[in-house]
Amino acid sequence: MLNIICSTVKLKDIDAPLLVLLLPEDTKQLMGQVLELDELLEKNVTKAFSTEGFRGKLYTSFLISTLNKIKPDYLLIAGLGSRDDTSTESFRIASGEAALRASNLGVRRYAIYIDQSLTELDLQKVTEAIVEGAELALYTYSRYKSQPEKKSIEELILVTDQSDKIPQLEAAAKSAQKVCEGVKLARDLANAPSSDMTPTIFAEEVKKMAEKMGLECTVLGLEEIRQLGMNGILNVSRGSREEPKVVILRYRGGKADDKPIVLVGKGVTFDSGGISIKASEKMEDMKYDKSGAAAVIAAIQTAANLRLPQNVVAIAPLVENLPSGAAYKPGDVIRHYGGKTSEVISTDAEGRLILADVLAYAVDKEKPQAIIDLATLTGACVVALGSQASGLFGNDQALIEKVKKAAEASGERVWQLPLWKEYYDQIKSEIADMKNSGGRSGGAITAAAFLSNFVGTTPWVHLDIAGTAYTAEDGTKVKTYTPKGATGVGVRLLVNLLKDWGSTSS
């Protein structure tokens, strides 16, 4: 984590080799210290906005050599995009852009000026976004590099004009770093190859974290899973030598009698598709099929770090889905926890089978006020929404609206899709209560419809993160703060949801 200092030092006197200004598109009128800098630097700040390829657009930046006219060696202007569309996400993206440029310059520290005259957005939220953008952009996964890249940046200075705002900036920065710690944990878990992140190892990593944090952690092994009748998990794991696990992580931040909020995350540590095997191209990306589990575990860690006043439980079913002589097969019928049955049409529709068991378990054992599940569930969702939004489904519109609000605050977009009764016809089975695949048509929706059969009347939201869990190579814009690999999507959304739960719940 960066060492973050909050300061009121004059911009021209900042003791850092790089000073960053975050300015909106087509800025024409400069004020205060920025105007002073422009005059000291021979109007080069103003000239930047007439430079083709910059003009203050989001995802762009302009570097100025100060030629010893001010203390910093360089001034970087990172664009915020249209002034009318400026949001906390704009600051997050611009800060990520600045962090990457700072890293490329090889500086040890840099400063960002937080100009409150630019926006009516809440100062704390803007500061949190700036810190998140920097921390997450500088994330690297170098565990397997024989010579890891040396991180040059150690310190970030946040500069404000108002000394009375320093405590607010410091609190916001501290909070944001705790959130980033969670996102980085989720990225680490998801980025790890399946050889070193089996269900057993994943569970052990969670137990270590829980012991360190003082959280309650229960790990269900093969025999316990069998005794509970979690046959979806048992069947999916049959083809692998790796035994399945179910991790239950509990944070008690609310009152003793408060019902918990349950977070469920799909944890397929590697998904070959099983007997219904996937194409070999990009199969290496199937290590990311544990991203849902990684997100809910990291969200609990973050809730504990922030001491949020909620009772929260994360449940993560962990399996490998591989073909072998012992693997489950198309045509098999599975009796899930609670008694409902499903016919296996495709062994590559395994995520819904393991989630079904733990969703039913959560309803039965936890009696939660709400369930939110995250899963890299369907390629169909990627076809529908690409890499720019997660699919959102649910049975309770009030809960759905809360999730939408949290998504907006975090910059982790969601898009609601329907669960009309006609879609349920696609998963009707002749021999079981339902089948695990409804065909290609509306695949993300029929998968969500399948899951809905296991939550009863409990308020429930399903997020299909198949397109957002790791950076895509589909030609779309990749956010500056999401380096190649796992994005940690869902962590910040869930944390925002939990933060606002008390103020928005009925």
Enzyme catalytic residues? 278, 352
| DSSP letter string, 244-292 | PEEEEEEEE-S-TTSPPEEEEE-EEEEE--TTSPPPSTTGGGGGGGGHH
Residue 404's identity, in one-letter code, is K
Q: Is 174 helix (H, G, I), strand (E, B) or coil?
A: helix
CA dist 50 → 30, 84, 98, 430 (Å): 14, 19, 20, 67
The C-alpha atoms of residue 141 and residue 319 are separated, in whole angstroms, by: 23
Residues 6+ apart with CB under 8 A from 450: 342, 352, 356, 427, 434, 436, 438
At 165, list the tokens: 């705002």
- Name the β-bridge partners of 263: 314, 372
Q: Is 380 helix (H, G, I), strand (E, B) or coil?
A: helix
Q: Is 74 helix (H, G, I), strand (E, B) or coil?
A: strand
Burial environment of residue 59 by CB neighbours within 10 A (0 to 12, 13 to 18, 19 or more): middle
Q: Which helix (H) or strand (E) holds 76?
A: strand 74-79
The C-alpha atoms of residue 132 and residue 126 are separated, in whole angstroms, by: 10
